[in-house]
Amino acid sequence: MKSAKTPPPHDLVGRWLHAYEEDGDEGQVYRRDDAELPLSRRPRESLELRADGSATMSVAGEDDRARAQRAAWREEAGEIVVRLARASKGAREVRVRRKSGGRIVIQREGA
Protein backbone atom coordinates (compact mmCIF):
# COMPACT_ATOMS: atom_id res chain seq x y z
CA MET A 1 0.00 0.00 0.00
CA LYS A 2 1.36 3.44 -0.96
CA SER A 3 1.84 5.97 1.82
CA ALA A 4 -0.22 9.16 1.67
CA LYS A 5 3.06 11.09 2.10
CA THR A 6 5.71 10.58 -0.56
CA PRO A 7 8.90 12.45 -1.47
CA PRO A 8 8.38 15.59 -3.54
CA PRO A 9 8.63 15.35 -7.33
CA HIS A 10 11.96 16.68 -8.58
CA ASP A 11 10.48 18.58 -11.55
CA LEU A 12 9.20 21.16 -9.05
CA VAL A 13 12.56 21.67 -7.34
CA GLY A 14 13.91 25.18 -7.86
CA ARG A 15 12.95 28.80 -7.39
CA TRP A 16 9.60 30.12 -8.64
CA LEU A 17 8.60 33.79 -8.98
CA HIS A 18 5.07 35.17 -8.66
CA ALA A 19 3.88 36.33 -12.08
CA TYR A 20 1.00 38.31 -10.59
CA GLU A 21 0.11 39.71 -14.02
CA GLU A 22 -1.14 36.20 -14.90
CA ASP A 23 -3.19 35.53 -11.74
CA GLY A 24 -6.79 34.52 -12.26
CA ASP A 25 -9.70 32.62 -10.79
CA GLU A 26 -7.66 29.41 -10.72
CA GLY A 27 -5.07 30.92 -8.36
CA GLN A 28 -1.72 32.67 -8.28
CA VAL A 29 0.70 31.96 -11.12
CA TYR A 30 4.39 31.33 -10.45
CA ARG A 31 7.07 30.86 -13.11
CA ARG A 32 10.61 29.50 -12.95
CA ASP A 33 13.12 32.12 -11.87
CA ASP A 34 14.75 32.11 -15.32
CA ALA A 35 11.47 33.07 -17.05
CA GLU A 36 11.31 36.41 -18.81
CA LEU A 37 8.97 38.42 -16.61
CA PRO A 38 8.33 42.14 -17.07
CA LEU A 39 10.02 44.54 -14.68
CA SER A 40 7.92 45.27 -11.63
CA ARG A 41 7.80 48.20 -9.22
CA ARG A 42 6.65 45.91 -6.46
CA PRO A 43 8.80 43.01 -5.26
CA ARG A 44 7.90 39.61 -6.65
CA GLU A 45 7.10 36.93 -4.14
CA SER A 46 9.10 33.75 -4.55
CA LEU A 47 8.81 30.12 -3.60
CA GLU A 48 11.93 27.96 -3.45
CA LEU A 49 11.40 24.20 -3.29
CA ARG A 50 14.40 22.01 -2.43
CA ALA A 51 14.85 18.29 -3.13
CA ASP A 52 15.11 17.47 0.60
CA GLY A 53 11.51 18.68 1.14
CA SER A 54 12.46 22.02 2.68
CA ALA A 55 11.23 25.27 1.19
CA THR A 56 11.35 29.04 1.58
CA MET A 57 8.56 31.42 0.69
CA SER A 58 9.52 35.09 0.39
CA VAL A 59 6.75 37.64 0.61
CA ALA A 60 6.81 41.43 0.74
CA GLY A 61 6.69 42.85 4.24
CA GLU A 62 4.98 46.05 5.28
CA ASP A 63 8.02 48.04 4.11
CA ASP A 64 8.10 46.17 0.76
CA ARG A 65 11.29 44.28 1.68
CA ALA A 66 11.20 40.53 1.16
CA ARG A 67 10.58 38.44 4.26
CA ALA A 68 11.60 34.80 4.04
CA GLN A 69 9.43 32.18 5.72
CA ARG A 70 10.73 28.66 6.25
CA ALA A 71 8.49 25.89 5.03
CA ALA A 72 8.36 22.21 4.13
CA TRP A 73 6.73 20.59 1.12
CA ARG A 74 5.69 17.13 -0.01
CA GLU A 75 3.17 15.25 -2.07
CA GLU A 76 0.11 14.21 -0.11
CA ALA A 77 -2.59 12.12 -1.75
CA GLY A 78 -1.52 13.27 -5.22
CA GLU A 79 -1.34 16.96 -4.34
CA ILE A 80 1.69 19.17 -3.60
CA VAL A 81 1.35 20.88 -0.21
CA VAL A 82 3.71 23.54 1.19
CA ARG A 83 3.36 24.21 4.92
CA LEU A 84 4.82 27.39 6.35
CA ALA A 85 6.73 26.93 9.62
CA ARG A 86 5.61 30.24 11.13
CA ALA A 87 2.96 32.33 9.50
CA SER A 88 2.15 35.37 11.61
CA LYS A 89 -0.52 36.43 9.15
CA GLY A 90 -1.81 35.23 5.83
CA ALA A 91 -1.81 31.69 4.51
CA ARG A 92 -0.36 28.84 6.53
CA GLU A 93 -0.51 26.39 3.67
CA VAL A 94 0.03 26.64 -0.08
CA ARG A 95 -1.23 24.03 -2.53
CA VAL A 96 0.05 23.58 -6.06
CA ARG A 97 -3.16 23.18 -8.06
CA ARG A 98 -1.68 22.95 -11.54
CA LYS A 99 1.74 22.52 -13.16
CA SER A 100 2.67 22.78 -16.81
CA GLY A 101 6.21 23.30 -18.02
CA GLY A 102 7.75 26.31 -16.30
CA ARG A 103 4.45 27.42 -14.72
CA ILE A 104 2.65 26.45 -11.53
CA VAL A 105 -0.64 27.71 -10.12
CA ILE A 106 -1.00 27.86 -6.36
CA GLN A 107 -3.76 28.58 -3.86
CA ARG A 108 -3.13 29.80 -0.34
CA GLU A 109 -5.15 28.30 2.49
CA GLY A 110 -5.56 28.96 6.18
CA ALA A 111 -5.56 32.75 6.01
Tell me what pLDDT residue 10 has: 76
91: containing domain: 5-109
Q: If 0-12 CB within 10 Å is exposed, 13-18 middle and 19+ buried, where does residue 78 land?
A: exposed
Q: Which residue has the higher pLDDT, 50 or 91?
A: 50
Q: What is the pLDDT of residues 82-97, one digit of tens each?
A: 998 865 565 589 999 9
71: pLDDT strictly greater than 90: yes
* Overall domain count for the chain: 1
Confidence of residue 109 (pLDDT cuts 50, 70, 90): confident
Cβ proximity of 33 and 102 under 8 Å: no
- What pLDDT digit, counting tens, does each position of 1-47 carry? 444 455 556 789 999 999 999 999 999 999 999 999 988 877 889 99
For residue 32, give the CATH number of its domain: 2.40.128
